Structure formats: structure tokens, C-alpha cells
Amino acid sequence: MSVFLEALAWLFSPERLGAGGIPQRIGEHLWFTLIAFALASAIAVPLGYLVGHTGRGREVAVAVAGAARALPSFGLILLLVMLVGVLQIGAAVTAALVILAIPSILAGAYAGIEAIDRRTIDAARAVGMTEWQVLTRVEIPLGLPLLLSGMRNGVLQIVATATLAGYVGLGGLGDDILQGIALRNYPQTLGGALLVVALALVLDGVFAVLERVAVPHGVRKRGGALPRSSSASRTPAASAAN
């Protein structure tokens, strides 16, 4: 308990709240997170929509998403740093964060579309909608909550892994944790860890609200459940987003 109180004292000490302190570390951490999340979404969302809408490449997408989840975060960062060289450390870390976030976002994108009742999509086509209109007016709005769920998992993966950026000298909240370990300053280590947890909880809460808001009004009135495909063969894809 004394270490916890000392960690709180470290967090709220004047020197930690000034220039070069906690606000700067949080800003660096959020910057890594934002860039990696944007890049991962730009890659994974179109691919996920393509797989979900056409049904092509579904097995490959499921296999890749599952395999990528097993990648060791620290090992991947070190491997990419060694491959690109020490002069491109920022790019290597960003690439590692993107790779680790893609599986969750990809799974959320295609699972959101595949979870929609096929009768809804058939009805849209029956009234004369083009494939593009079906995708943009029916599939994307109804699949948005599951996409946001995948994004939620992806951004939490990035926040946790970005802590390791301190190992290669890029700052962020991991810097304080690593300094505390090296100096055996356990209040500092715990304080840095608490900041990572707090940041993750805040972002998790933001995405939880977005998920709830994204549920279409008509679906929410029926109890908040998205229409699901009745085909048992589509169930693994919906499960993959979680």
C-alpha cells in the first residue's frame, strides 16, 4: 500500500506535471497511437469490407487475423528495428504497431458485414440498389458497431504495445516505466503503469460510447441486437471481431 501511495505522490509531484513530464509523455503516447491506428484502419477497413461484401478471401482473412494475434509484440518491434536500422526507429515501431492492430480491425470490418441478415441485403438489391449502394447504405451502417468493436480492440493493443517504444528511446509512457525499473524506483514504475492503464480505460470508454451510438435507431428499438445471419457457416467471422 505504501508503494501505491508513493506512486500517487510521484504522479502528482510538481516536476512530473511540468515541461517534459507526464503531459509530454501522454502526448507522445497518443501520437504513436493515433498514427498507428489511422494507418491500420486505412489498410484493414477497406480489406474487411471487400471480404465481407464479396465473401472472397474470407478463409485467408480469418487465418491471417488469427495468426497475427499470436505475434510477440516486443520481438516484432526489435525485429523491425534491426531490419530498417537505428536511423528509422520511429518508422519501425509504427510499422509494428500497425501490424499488431490490423487483425482486430480487419475482423471487425468483415464480421460486421457478415453478421447482417442476408434477407436485409437481398431486400436492398430487390428494390434496385447497386452493389455500392448496398455497401454504403445498408452494410456499413448496420456493421458499424462490430467495426468499432474491432477498432476498440485494436487501439487498446496499440496503447499497450506503444509502451515498449521506450526500449528503443522513442519516449511515451513506457519511458518512465523503464527508467523506474533501471533505477529500482518502484513508485515511478507503478506510476507509469497506472498512467498506461488510465489512458487505456479512457480510450476504451470512448469506443464503448461510440459503439452504443452507432447502433441504428431501428435496431436499438428492437432491443439493441444487430440482425444476424442465420447461416452457421458465418458465425466464426462474427466471433473473430471479439
Share of the chain above pLDDT 70, in %: 88
Contact 230, 117 (CB under 8 A): yes
Q: Residue 44 has what pLDDT? A: 94
Higher per-residue confidence, 34 vs 19: 34
* 86-119 pLDDT per residue, tens: 677 888 888 889 999 999 999 999 999 989 988 9
pLDDT score of 175: 86
pLDDT confidence of residue 109: 93
Q: Which residue has the cell 470512448?
A: 206
CA dihedral 4, 9, 10, 15 (to 10 degrees): 170
Instruction: Check pLDDT > 80 for residue 74.
Output: no
Instruction: State the helix-helix crossing angle for 89-114 and 22-54, rounded to 10 degrees.
Output: 40
Q: Give the residue numbers spanning the domain of 132.
A: 2-240
> pLDDT per residue over 176-229, tens digit each?
888 888 888 888 899 989 999 999 999 999 999 999 998 877 666 555 444 444
Number of domains in the chain: 1
**54-65 tens-digit pLDDT:** 888 888 887 877
DSSP state of 232: G
CATH of the domain at 136: 1.10.3720.10
